Structure 1
Amino acid sequence: MPLSPLQARIARDIVSHVRRERFDIGHHLVESQLAATLNVSRTPIKFAMGHLVEKGMLTYDRNRGFF
């Protein structure tokens, strides 16, 4: 399912945030912290992060979250 324009923007913003903060590979990305940083709710964050997992940019561990 394609992303909405908001979700696509948030995916780009997540990538920009990770690059700007220079997080190490394997850094735990917390949905609530990203939502607060990007000033959006957690729902579009979750969809955007799922998209980034599909693209191979993030990994997801069911019990631990996004990395």
Structure 2
Amino acid sequence: MDMGVVVIVVVAIVGGVFYDAMKMRYKYQHLASGKGYEDLQQELTQVKARLATLESIVTDKKYQLNEEINRL
């Protein structure tokens, strides 16, 4: 195997590991700063609102009637 190929492969592997380490470091710093927590709380609130809307649609009598008709 050519030595140049080995060097390129090693540099690529080390670069990939370094990139992943920096990405994880940034992610944990972002979460530790509290900004990530606020973002997650806001997203959770939005998901709960969407879930409530979907539950009201599914439990609607017209929706259930349409489903029964479609099954026939």
Same structural fold, with TM-score higher than 0.5 when normalized by the shorter chain: no
Q: Which protein, 1 or 2, shows the higher relative CO under an 8 Å CA cutoff with sep ≥ 6?
A: 1
Query: TM-score, normalising length from structure 2?
Result: 0.27
TM-score by length of 1: 0.29
More strand by share: 1
Bigger Cα Rg: 2
